[in-house]
Amino acid sequence: MNQLQQYQSVNRETGVIDADPHKLIQMLYDGLIERLATARGFILRQDFEAKNVFINKSIEILEGLRSFLDHDQGGELAANLDNLYQYMELQLFNANADNDADKVDEVIKLVKTVKDGWDEIRSEVMKS
């Protein structure tokens, strides 16, 4: 691991330790977008082994996000997010099988939309 990678790793670990639960979800969305973009790049370069690794990492993050949903308190919103995350996972399975960058693009757009909403919630909470 080069020095830049070591610094980034320590910086991420420190960010996780210092983050509140809302910030942790933001970090998961950021990491998901980053891995999806990387997977897309590997599809375009036809590096299918690396693509597979990053799509699988993306699916793991989606599964983590699903596990954080509180269906008791979240009600319909939690159910809708759960369904959306399941849809994203299915699209990524299909993107992986078909080497389809367009399906990855669709998931990236969906994640960005959800993240924008999550970021707005944080902005409102921080104003209070």
What are the tokens at 121? 């919630």
Residue bearing tokens 């159910």 = 79
Check residue 17 and give its pLDDT.
56
Check residue 81 and give its pLDDT.
97
- Which segments of 2-100 does DSSP mark as H helices, in order? 3-18, 21-44, 48-68, 71-98
Phi-psi region of 100 (alpha: psi -120 to 50; beta: other; left: phi over 0): beta
The pLDDT profile of the chain, 128 residues, written as one tens digit per residue, is 555 454 444 444 445 555 688 889 999 999 999 999 999 999 999 999 999 999 999 999 999 999 999 999 999 999 999 999 999 999 999 999 999 999 999 999 999 999 999 999 876 666 65
